[in-house]
Amino acid sequence: MAPPDLRRPFKRAAISDQERRRQQSLLRQAQNRRDAQHHARFLASTAFSLPSQTPEPEPSFSQPEHISDSQPEPSLKDLDVVEASKLKGAEARKWFAKQLMLPEWMIDIPDKFAVDWFVFARPSGKRCFVVSCNGTTISRLKNGSILHRFPSALPNGARRKDPSGSSQSYSILDCIFHEVDQTYYVIDMICWKGYSLCDCTSEFRFFWLNSKLAETGACDPPSYYHKYKFSLVPVYSCDQDGLSAAYTAAVPYVKDGLLFYNKHAHYQTGITPLALVWKDGNCSQYVMDTDSKGQVPSQQQVVLELQEDGKVTTCDDPPVVFGCLDGSYTQQLGLNSGCLIRFAIGEGGLVLVDGKLEKADLNYLGQANRARASADIFSKVMFQYSVRHSPLRIDDLLGSIISTVDQESKACDIEMDG
């Protein structure tokens, strides 16, 4: 592969409000520190207790001494163990999807890209979280279904004497299961031996993950008490060398784009602009969305949710409105509030003003697959639109870093001259 062209040391102009929302997310996490220990505990318990085709025994969990007795009011996003274990179908899929930290798609290059961000090559595979507790390990997909139940070398992950901690302790990892080599690639750590890391920065979580995982033997080859291998992904600071390494360096797994994490970001459940995904044809087999036949459609397709007032929106919080359907039209088609509808973007495209969607040319195609849990997020729609019209290239990412370094160097020279 030819090296990227570095002759464009400038930053591409922003086309959205993604940077503003990043700053708001950082501000909110500083103001609203939730009870992370409680959240980790009921996530671990629910992973075992949610009904499946094969009944799962429900483990007991000890109450850490420093946990407050006061708990938040339950909602679909933040349920207690008993309520969450009753979820089925779409509600179960939505709940579990919101327990993972899900990246937005990179529309604009972040400020302080080289200083405040990590980058790594995302493994292709099934995103899941892995919970070890009471002598067993279980993995669940984003839709809540069980991927594997198995013994592991994780703390308290197999039925053998474990001197590393209490029999009631539990650990939770954010992983991608890579089918080709039957390996769980760990991309984040949510909880370790009962200690929640949700309110820790990604910089600390990555340090803790690299320090602790190998000590357990989880990275060793499979054995009787350790059915699947776990492996770390190489994480780099997003400077010129780090980004180039993540983009071009060989890895033992199939790449599916690059993931970027803000170094100051806590583990925020749900979709967050403090984690970003970016792809091109050199680091992913799947850059443009395909249809049910695996073909790239001639027109970009989007899935939106029908609201009670007829508006069709993304699943963002708050949702982005793409248009409005007339009541008689929805009745004629048999569409109800909450339906997921597939549209094609017509020749009029998407019109943005000051980073916000002003108008969208939508052509109705039909209802989305029933197994789907939610509508598209706005950043995905915009990334796919950009890929078709004006893609954000690796040269733009590298050029932004070079431009920032040059500006800082000039500023330093001015200070020294003064």
**113-159 pLDDT per residue, tens:** 999 999 999 999 999 999 999 899 999 988 778 899 999 999 999 98
Percent of the chain at pLDDT > 90 equals 61
pLDDT at residue number 51: 58
Provide the pLDDT for residue 409: 54
pLDDT of residue 61: 34
Distance CA 159, CA 54 (A): 20
Q: What single-letter amino acid sits at 257?
A: G
- Which has more pLDDT, 64 or 325? 325
Contact 343, 374 (CB under 8 A): no
Q: Which two tokens stand for residue 9?
A: 């040391």
Distance CA 99, CA 319 (A): 19
The pLDDT of 315-320, averaged and rounded, is 92
Quote the pLDDT of residue 402: 87
Min mean pLDDT across 197-201, 222-226, 244-248, 406-410 is at 406-410
Asked if the model's pLDDT at residue 301 lies above 60, the reply is: yes
| Higher-pLDDT residue of 393, 2 | 393
Calpha distance 123→237 (Å, rounded)? 18
Q: What does the block give as tokens for 371? A: 């197994």
Please, are residues 236 and 160 in contact by the beta-carbon 8 Å criterion? no
Start-to-end Cα distance in the chain:
45
Question: Which residue in 113, 77, 105, 72 sits closest to 275, CA to CA?
Answer: 105
340 class by beta-carbon count within 10 Å (0-12 exposed, 13-18 middle, 19+ buried): buried
What tokens were used for 136? 């067993």
Whole-angstrom Cα distance, residue 11 to residue 127?
Answer: 32
Which of 16-20, 188-192, 261-265, 397-401 shows the lowest mean pLDDT across its residues? Answer: 16-20
Helices 394-417 and 240-248: crossing angle in degrees, nearest 10, is 170
Query: Among 83-92, 282-291, 395-404, whose mean pLDDT is lowest?
Result: 83-92
Cis check: omega of the bond before 9, within 30 degrees of 0: no
Backbone angles phi, psi at 293, to 5 degrees: -95, 5
Looking at residue 175, its pLDDT comes to 97
Strand order in the sheet with 340-353: 321-324, 311-313, 301-306, 340-353, 356-367
Radius of gyration for the chain, computed over Cα atoms and rounded to the nearest angstrom: 22
Residue count of the chain, please give it.
418
* Of 268-282, 289-303, 394-408, minimum mean pLDDT range: 394-408
How far, in Å, CA of 163 to CA of 17, rounded? 50
Amino acid 417: pLDDT: 52
Q: What is the pLDDT of residue 166?
A: 58
| DSSP at 211 | H
Is 41:35 a contact under the CB 8 Å cutoff? Answer: no
In 3D space, the residue among 13, 14, 12, 17 whose CA is nearest the CA of residue 357 turns out to be: 17
CB 276 within 8 A of CB 260: yes
pLDDT attached to residue 93? 66
Using a cut of 0.85, tell me whether the model's pTM lies above it.
no
Site of tokens 């982005």: 320
Average pLDDT, the chain: 83
Lowest-confidence segment of 73-87, 185-199, 342-356 by average pLDDT: 73-87
Q: What is the mean pLDDT of residues 46-55?
A: 55
Q: What is the DSSP letter of 382?
A: H
* pLDDT greater at residue 291 or residue 50: 291
SS3 at position 94: helix
